[in-house]
């Protein structure tokens, strides 16, 4: 099995994914997760990695597991693909052992979000929709700080998200995702300046939700993993309804 390579228009970013001829279901929720691995994450690296592994394990046991495709990326001053889009039931928690490798000296938050949202949209448009697969998407961007090095702007992220939702001219909505949910997650946010910067990115980046956690301990990140996996399942269950999941409510996440 070999992945195909794809490009994201309007950028230098690319991504990989399994070819449609290797897929076994007739509809998919395309999932993207981006994880900050800049130096400030170092003291809770193990907890972030456990959160990612728990999310994968929970989704593998979901009744919608066969209808989920996952791409995971890591970012510091650059964006690195952990793996391209593949069916979630083929992902194993052990695949993520050592995946949160701390590196770099900066945070390309906007680039990571642009790459992730663009890849979810383009994979659906280039690989799934032309073969009459029904598809929707959900994206999670996890960070502990603000952007300081990206080539893309926050507004470019918002424009790309709105394009994926069919809200912009030039690409008909029927050619793409049935719906897209984007969620920005701030962990260990104790600085009011950083909090304000991420809330501004929520608006400029056209995110549907922003979750802010003042801790990044094992208990908090375990709750976050539950929220992420439940949100993925809810969005997947909404596929075919013509709209996004109505049950995703970050305010119910008591962290």
What total of structural domains would you count in the chain? 1
Q: What pLDDT, on the 0 to 100 scale, is given for residue 45?
A: 97
Q: What pLDDT, on the 0 to 100 scale, is given for residue 169?
A: 53
Q: CB count, 10 Å around CB of 52? A: 24
Domain membership of residue 84 as a residue range: 26-240
The tokens for 181 are 């949910």
Comparing CA positions, the residue from 41, 46, 99 lying closest to residue 70 is 99
Interatomic CA distance for residues 192 and 189, integer angstroms: 8
Asked if the structure places residue 129 within a domain, the reply is yes
Asked if the structure places residue 136 within a domain, the reply is yes
Asked if the structure places residue 205 within a domain, the reply is yes
Asked if the structure places residue 5 within a domain, the reply is no
Alpha-carbon torsion (112, 115, 119, 125), positive or negative? positive
The parts of the chain modelled with pLDDT lower than 70 are: 1, 168-174, 252-255
pTM, 2 dp: 0.96
Q: What pLDDT, on the 0 to 100 scale, is given for residue 155?
A: 98
Q: What pLDDT, on the 0 to 100 scale, is given for residue 134?
A: 95
Q: Which of left, alpha, beta for 182 (phi over 0: left; psi -120 to 50: alpha)? A: beta
Asked if the structure places residue 13 within a domain, the reply is no
Q: What is the CATH number of the domain that holds 42?
A: 3.40.50.410
Q: What pLDDT, on the 0 to 100 scale, is given for residue 48?
A: 97
Q: What pLDDT, on the 0 to 100 scale, is given for residue 250?
A: 82
Asked if the structure places residue 230 within a domain, the reply is yes
Asked if the structure places residue 54 within a domain, the reply is yes
Q: What pLDDT, on the 0 to 100 scale, is given for residue 1?
A: 57
Asked if the structure places residue 101 within a domain, the reply is yes
Q: What pLDDT, on the 0 to 100 scale, is given for residue 167?
A: 77
């Amino acid at each position: 099995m070999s992945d195909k390579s794809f490009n994201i228009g309007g950028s230098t970013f690319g991504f990989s994914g399994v070819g449609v001829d290797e897929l076994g279901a007739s509809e998919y929720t395309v999932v993207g997760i981006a994880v900050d691995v800049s130096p400030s994450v170092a003291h809770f690296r193990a907890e972030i990695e456990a959160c990612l592994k728990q999310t994968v394990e929970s989704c593998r046991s979901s009744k919608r597991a066969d209808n989920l495709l996952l791409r995971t990326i890591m970012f510091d001053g650059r964006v690195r693909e952990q793996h391209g889009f593949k069916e979630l039931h083929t992902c194993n928690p052990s695949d993520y052992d050592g995946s949160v490798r701390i590196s770099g000296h900066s945070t390309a938050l906007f680039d990571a979000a642009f790459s992730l949202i663009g890849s979810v949209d383009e994979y659906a448009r280039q690989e799934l929709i032309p073969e009459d697969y029904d598809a929707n998407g959900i994206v999670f961007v996890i960070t502990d700080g603000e952007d300081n090095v990206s080539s893309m702007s926050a507004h470019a992220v918002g424009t790309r998200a709105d394009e994926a939702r069919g809200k912009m001219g030039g690409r008909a909505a029927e050619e793409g995702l049935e719906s897209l949910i984007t969620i920005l997650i701030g962990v260990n946010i104790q600085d009011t300046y950083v909090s304000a910067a991420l809330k501004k990115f929520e608006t400029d980046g056209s995110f549907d939700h922003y979750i802010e956690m003042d801790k990044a301990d094992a208990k908090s990140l375990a709750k976050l993993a539950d929220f992420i996996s439940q949100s993925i399942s809810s969005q997947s269950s909404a596929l075919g309804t013509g709209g996004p999941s109505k049950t995703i409510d970050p305010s119910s996440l008591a962290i």
